[in-house]
Structure 1
Amino acid sequence: MFELFDYSLSYQTISFVFLVAFFVGMAKTGVHGISLLAVPLLAVIFGGKASSGLMLPMLVIADLFAVKYYHRHANWGYLIKLFPSAVVGVLIGTWLGNVVDDQVFRVLMSIIIFVSLAIMVWMEKTDKKAIPDYLWFAILMGLVGGISTMIGNLAGPIMGLYLLSMRLPKNEYIGTAAWFFLVINVFKVPFHIYSWESIDKNSFLLNLVSLPFIAIGAVCGIFIVKRIPDKQYRWFVIGMTAVAAVLMNI
């Protein structure tokens, strides 16, 4: 054990933190779903709410990498539909985090992943017309995404569900998701600092130490995504979400 920024960490624990940073970097540049493998790791080590705050600065840093690389591919028509209800969802998620204990928090994280996975598989097996491109659907997905991103940074499957159902091409999918999460994750920061108190100077410094691993992950993510065809990429996203859903309950 050693002390780092008021954290008592083992070498195994700090290795997991750096692995999480690497996964987050990969996820934000297109290997969507792999960051969900990191959620159970941090939740077991630091607790549900604390891990959510610890991961958020990593996500914001990685979002900047993603937006830098994929910004020109974003579909702002979908983003404008999503943002208002997502903001409301973040506020609801903040309230939920203040009224439930950490065990319930982790159960909610698990439920979100499993339900999202089931819907994603169903959507992939269903014709696009089964879920029309209507405003009500975007509002619903934005609301649920806002709640789930506050409860454990788990909006990835929800946004995957929405954007996959819109049949966006691979790069447009990644670029639209990148802008959505950058805006929403920055919006979440004050609530983590002042309401949940899950981000402080020490957690931020630990995130800065993890920055090289986020960058390496981002570069690896770009390299991998370039080599996955659109059709296989869609099932790759679903498969990574499935693995995360299982790990959350081990």
Structure 2
Amino acid sequence: MQIFHMLNLSMYQWVWVILAAFFIGFSKTGISSFMMPAIPIVAGIFGGKGSTGVVLPMLILGDVFALYYYNRHAEWNNIRKLLPWTLVGLALGIIVGNYVDDKQFKAFIAISVLICLFILIYTERKGENFHVPQNAFLYALTGILCGFTSMIGNAAGPIFSVYLLFMGFKKNDFMGTTAWFFFIINITKVPLQIIFWNNIPIKTVFLAGIMIPAIALGAVLGVLLIKKLNEKLFHRVILLVTAIAAIKLLF
């Protein structure tokens, strides 16, 4: 009971936090863009920067469930090429996070995602006539954007999803690569947020522990849904949910 008192949440807030935890679990094993609704939910209760510290322990728990289901399907070559640039993005996020307000964070994230979506839709319409330049610039841009948006608002999922679809990843490789990439990034963010932002107090760790059943339920349902989606429908659902989430961030 002392833990519940320490968190000082109303019944209404508890319901929203549980829903956010469910979305986090679902996004980790199902459709990653479903993480996006959890961001404004938690931010509305704990504030902008504070919410990043609340969500991060839940994300790591969700990552563990994702790795349990998809750990064998990662495409490590792409992860290795992105990681150095992602660390640059994390560093930029730490610096900018001290000067930019929440509204500006959300606008930047939304615009970045919408640009990526536009490029993806254009390339799919061009079909085989469009050549994807898999060069250092592509990895640098994707890595920096993922690192920055992950640090600012735990919102790199849509950008990474667009990148993997852009690269032609199939369903299992898509899920496995996403699981390992974000597990590594989220673990890296823990000491950074503690040292530079001091926004992961012990009560948020307790809260994540309490939310394990909701995260687990979301993770299980995510796995069941993914199994029923074919590749074409999977891509369309990713695009639709990502577009909706990005537009909502602008308002």
Query: Normalized against structure 1, the TM-score is what?
Result: 0.92
Aligned mates of 1:178, 1:58 — CA distance in 2: 14
Matching residue of 1:35? 35
8 Å CA contact retained: 1:138, 1:162: no
Aligned mates of 1:61, 1:69 — CA distance in 2: 13
Matching of residue 7 in structure 1 with residue 7 in structure 2: yes
Of stretches 128-137 and 214-223 in structure 1, the one that deviates more from structure 2 is 128-137
Matching residue of 1:237? 238
Q: Which amino acid aligns with 1:154?
A: A
8 Å CA contact retained: 2:109, 2:246: no
Shift in CA distance, 4/126, structure 1 to aligned 2, threshold 3 Å: farther
Q: Which amino acid aligns with 2:225?
A: I
Write out aligned runs for 1:98-247 (5 A).
98-127=98-127, 129-247=130-248
Instruction: Write out per-residue CA displacement over residues 114-136 of structure 1, whole angstroms, 9 at most, x where no aligned residue.
Output: 44444444444343634322232
Q: Which amino acid aligns with 2:197?
A: W
8 Å CA contact retained: 1:112, 1:154: no
8 Å CA contact retained: 1:24, 1:34: yes
8 Å CA contact retained: 1:117, 1:157: no
Of stretches 121-130 and 44-53 in structure 1, the one that deviates more from structure 2 is 121-130
Aligned mates of 2:5, 2:245 — CA distance in 1: 29
Instruction: Write out per-residue CA displacement over residues 82-103 of structure 1, whole angstroms, 9 at most, x where no aligned residue.
Output: 1110011111111111122344
Partner-residue secondary structure (3-state), 1:168: coil
Shift in CA distance, 133/96, structure 1 to aligned 2, threshold 3 Å: same
Aligned mates of 2:193, 2:223 — CA distance in 1: 30
Q: Which amino acid aligns with 2:160?
A: M
Shift in CA distance, 106/68, structure 1 to aligned 2, threshold 3 Å: same
Of stretches 56-65 and 39-48 in structure 1, the one that deviates more from structure 2 is 39-48
8 Å CA contact retained: 2:3, 2:203: no
Aligned mates of 2:120, 2:44 — CA distance in 1: 26
8 Å CA contact retained: 2:106, 2:250: no
Aligned mates of 2:171, 2:36 — CA distance in 1: 19
Matching of residue 59 in structure 1 with residue 62 in structure 2: no
Return structure 1 stretches of 4+ with deviation > 3 angstroms: 101-130
Instruction: Write out per-residue CA displacement over residues 191-212 of structure 1, whole angstroms, 9 at most, x where no aligned residue.
Output: 1112112211011111111111
Higher helix share: 2
Residue 13 of structure 1, CA deviation: 1.0
8 Å CA contact retained: 2:89, 2:145: yes
8 Å CA contact retained: 1:113, 1:154: no
Of stretches 234-243 and 175-184 in structure 1, the one that deviates more from structure 2 is 234-243
Alignment gaps of 5+ in structure 1:
none
Alignment gaps of 5+ in structure 2:
none
Instruction: Write out per-residue CA displacement over residues 23-51 of structure 1, whole angstroms, 9 at most, x where no aligned residue.
Output: 11111112221111111211222222111
Matching residue of 1:85? 85
Residue 68 of structure 1, CA deviation: 1.6
Matching residue of 2:21? 21
8 Å CA contact retained: 1:32, 1:240: no
Residue 173 of structure 1, CA deviation: 0.6
Query: Normalized against structure 2, the TM-score is what?
Result: 0.91
The aligned length equals: 249
Percent identity over paired residues: 39
Of stretches 128-137 and 60-69 in structure 1, the one that deviates more from structure 2 is 128-137
Aligned mates of 1:211, 1:122 — CA distance in 2: 40
Aligned mates of 1:48, 1:118 — CA distance in 2: 28
Shift in CA distance, 125/32, structure 1 to aligned 2, threshold 3 Å: farther
